[in-house]
Amino acid sequence: MLTRRIIPCLDVRDGRVVKGVRFQGLRDAGDPSELAARYEAEGADEITLLDISATPQERATATDTVARVRRVLGIPLTVGGGVRKVADVARLLDAGADKVGLNTAAVLRPELLSECAEQFGSQCVVVAIDAARSSADSFRWEVRVRSGAELTPINAIEWAKRAEAMGAGEVLLTSWDRDGTRNGYDLPLTGAVASAVRIPVIASGGAAKPEDLLAAFEAGADAVLAASIFHNREFTVADIKKFLSTNGVEVRI
Amino acid sequence: MNFTEDQPEVVVVRTGSANIASVAAALTRLGTVPHVTEDPKVVLAAPVVVLPGVGAFGAAVTHLRNRGLDEVIRERVRCDRPLLAICLGMQLLCESSEEHPGVAGLGIVPAHVGRFGRDQRVPQMGWNRSLPAATCVLLRPDWMYFAHSFRIETIKGEWNVATTEYGGTFVSAFERGALLACQFHPELSGSGGLALIGRWLSLAIGRKVVPC
């Protein structure tokens, strides 16, 4: 039976892992390859590396960081952040990514998903969606782009379906409202997207405790992404897997 | 498993757009030196060859055929020269695939590649158990990492297979002599996957090169 996945996320800037609420007030959280290796040893199922570079120089460093992580990492590596064109995907795959996340560029030009799927296969094309609850309707979510700075009128569920049809092989679904709040994942959002598409869905944004991850799986997530609970050493991946297993979720132990 | 003493070279076949950085990194961690090529002469003569692959069946078959690599890979398997085929690399060894009906595979293995059932999330993405038959030499029961939308249900004939459950049973790996083929990604399957590549390398590197 296919197991549910736990994916620690490394937000990387200028060669270092950083943490902060919505990229404000960033603090250093360690070396990317050291953290990646530690999480693999704890039982992480994959690693996601999100490049939050602010300058072209930092972006060049990020490619080196991917290569550095790849050298030590024996599990899948997804890389996202600032991916604009097919050549960016090729560069990250060459550096050692196994999957690449596309966000703003895919919203602006959805054909980018098809172009990447044709060239590299759907299994390495991840559509990253930042979804914010509509102020008018709590069961409607709108897509945010440019690291969340810009709101679009696009319905997040419709966008997930369209992205699947265009060739995305997985959805990385981040709740803009919950990200960094430690209030748990947005469960109605997770459930709505998971039942709208046939590709796997990764829930992201808001995890603070093992019960939050359990709830996301019960809502229909195939995988969950979390950062601060691991970086702060509140829980190890092994702790969380043990808790999930005790509560009937199939995990790789 | 570690070959750091003599650092043998392992030839990795370039199959078009396949991402080979992870395969190369795993081979390096095992103390070998990966050498990526699409030269059929090199692929035929090399003591040890890995055939990785992601992407589409039809495009990959065409890529191999245009470079004369299909003949060379067939020849290697016929002479039992060491070959490790991964993911799409394994599917390419089959006769045909539902992904591109009408495109002939390399036809080395009497099997057809089909799509997963309608009830399954596709791609199958993540860790699942691979359980080998008692006749397997290299394969052991372990968690392995999968990322695929198509799979082989059965293989005809004398092949040592490992199976996995995902909306029914499918063939997650098979082996015979120095040929090891995996639907999962051993290079992304942590210590268990690395150990499997290591066992295959030990068998492969210890073997005398038989002239074809």
Report the percent of chain B where pLDDT is more than 70. 94
Within 8 A of A3 by CB-CB distance, chain B residues are 126-128, 143
Delimit the domains of chain B by residue range.
9-205
| ipTM of this predicted structure | 0.96
Q: Does B147 touch chain A (CB under 8 A)?
A: yes
- Residues on chain B touching A119 (C-beta within 8 angstroms): 17, 55
Q: Give the pLDDT confidence score for residue B202 in this predicted structure.
A: 93
Average pLDDT of chain B, as a whole number: 93
Q: What is the pLDDT of residue B56?
A: 83
pLDDT tens column, A196-214:
999 999 999 999 999 999 9
Residues of B with CB below 8 A from A74's CB?
A: 26, 29, 187-191, 193-194
User: A223 and A203 in contact (C-beta within 8 Å)?
Assistant: yes
Quick one: pLDDT at residue B86?
97
**Hey, are the CB atoms on B19 and A76 less than 8 Å from each other?**
no
pLDDT at site A116: 95
pLDDT of residue A85: 95
Residue A55 has a pLDDT of 80
Domains of chain A, start order: 5-246 (3.20.20.70)
Asked whether the CA dihedral B53, B58, B59, B62 is positive or negative, the reply is: positive
Read out DSSP for B7-63?
A: --EEEEE--TT---HHHHHHHHHTT-EEEEE--HHHHHH-SSEEE---S-HHHHHHH
Residue among A1, A74, A170 whose CB faces B128 most closely: A1
Q: Could you tell me the pLDDT band of residue A12, with boundaries at 50, 70 and 90?
A: very high
Reported CATH class of domain B9-205:
alpha beta
What's residue B173's pLDDT?
98
Give the tens place of pLDDT for each residue, B117-152: 988 999 999 999 999 999 999 999 999 999 999 999
Nearest-CA neighbor of A57 among A17, A13, A16?
A13
CB B178 within 8 A of CB B80: yes
Mean pLDDT of all residues in B82-92: 96
Residue found under tokens 């692959």: B53
Has residue A115 got a pLDDT over 80? yes
For tokens 């003599």, the residue is B6
Confidence of residue A56 (pLDDT cuts 50, 70, 90): confident
Residues 86 to 105 of A: which have CB under 8 A from any B CB? 93-99
pLDDT at B16 exceeding the cut of 80: no
Q: Residue A54: its pLDDT value, please?
A: 76
Catalytic annotation present for B185: yes
Average pLDDT rounded to a whole number, residues A38-62: 91
* pLDDT score, position A107: 98
Q: What is the pLDDT of residue A19?
A: 84
pLDDT tops 70 at residue B99: yes
- Residues A234-252 have a mean pLDDT of 97
Predicted pLDDT at B206: 80
Q: What is the pLDDT of residues A217-239, one digit of tens each?
A: 999 999 999 999 999 999 999 99
Reduce the secondary structure of A52-113 to three states and give it as a string. Answer: CCCCHHHHHHHHHHHHHHHHHCCCCEEEECCCCCHHHHHHHHHHCCCEEEECHHHHHCCHHH
Supply the pLDDT for residue B7: 85
Quick: pLDDT tens for B191-209: 999 999 999 999 998 876 6
Task: Pinpoint the alpha helices (H) of chain B.
Answer: 21-29, 40-45, 57-66, 69-78, 88-92, 190-205
The radius of gyration computed from the CA coordinates of chain A, to the nearest angstrom, equals: 17
Backbone φ and ψ of B208, nearest 5°? -75, 140
**Does A2 sit within 8 Å of B127, measured CB to CB?**
yes
pLDDT of residue B150: 96
Inter-residue contact A42 to A229 (CB < 8 Å): no
